[in-house]
Amino acid sequence: MDVILYENPSTQDEIAEKLGLTRRYVTKLLQPLVKRGVVRRAYIIDLKKFDEFSDMFQDGITSKEHAGTYLIKDMLKDMAKHVCKQFDLAFEAVANSKPQMANEALKQDYITNNMLEKIRSSVDTVISINPYSEFSKTMVFGEIGYDLERIGDHTGNIANFALKESYDVDAEMMEILNSMYKTSRKMVSQSMDAFLNEKLKLKDKVMDYEERIHELQRKAMNKIATQMAEDDMMDEDRSSYYITLSRVVKAFERIGDISIEIIDTAGEYYRNIPRTTTPERFRREMKR
């Protein structure tokens, strides 16, 4: 289905080549889909008929979904896994002083960007060929993809710290960073679980993590300020180290904020709970 919908093959040979299967086996797979009208000749998917045929996907499809959105949600699931792997590599590079892992995390960002483009293209395709879709709901998938891409960008700041800074992070500061990493990582995983699987009850837990991440951020920034004040060897390189370390702390905070945006989007998608137009970081300042 992915190959037909997003890569527009014109022959069974093309489908077989893209999937790494024999043409004979592709024919066998296509027969029931063609017979039921799900796939038409020239290999076009009729998404309305696919909805009627999609009992095989029922465990993965939540309320208010159709086949096109199911396929894009599967792509978002893969993108979320990839971004979390990128996040893990970036932090491990900092925690264990492994520049090769930092380089790998930065390379992964190119894949993240490509995944976003595929999701955007898929959203456009579904909207153009499926007159039964709700336009605004389908567009949400592009927003979630963009949120994941932003998380990937912030992990890049963490990876760059491991590459460019020669000073070691002291044990107390590393403990704070480790707690920020674990907390923000949970926020990403649980906010995406809420969106992909309609688990809106996770919002309370994610909001608790948000309080934790900002408590850790204040602790980290106070620690950096104290270290700067006590540093007897403050030169340009040392000053750059503190500035870049502050950016790492900020990256964890922004990843947490984006996670809140994702879970707010889940509430709007499934329950029509309007999202605020005020970014999370501004809402937090107003609350204070």
pLDDT tens-place string over residues 101-126: 999 999 999 999 999 998 998 888 77
Take residue 228 and report the two structure tokens written for it.
Answer: 């700067």
Check pLDDT > 90 for residue 226. Answer: yes
Q: Can you name the residues that pair with 40 across neighbouring β-strands?
A: 44
Where do we find the tokens 């590599």? 89
Check residue 45 and give its pLDDT. Answer: 63
Question: How many angstroms separate the CA atoms of 142 and 274, rounded?
Answer: 18
Question: How many angstroms separate the CA atoms of 252 and 222, rounded?
Answer: 16
Q: How confident is the prediction for the chain on average, in pLDDT?
A: 85
Take residue 211 and report the two structure tokens written for it.
Answer: 């309080």
Check pLDDT > 70 for residue 267. Answer: yes
Take residue 66 and report the two structure tokens written for it.
Answer: 């159709």
Q: Can you name the residues that pair with 44 across neighbouring β-strands?
A: 40
pTM for this model (two decimals): 0.75
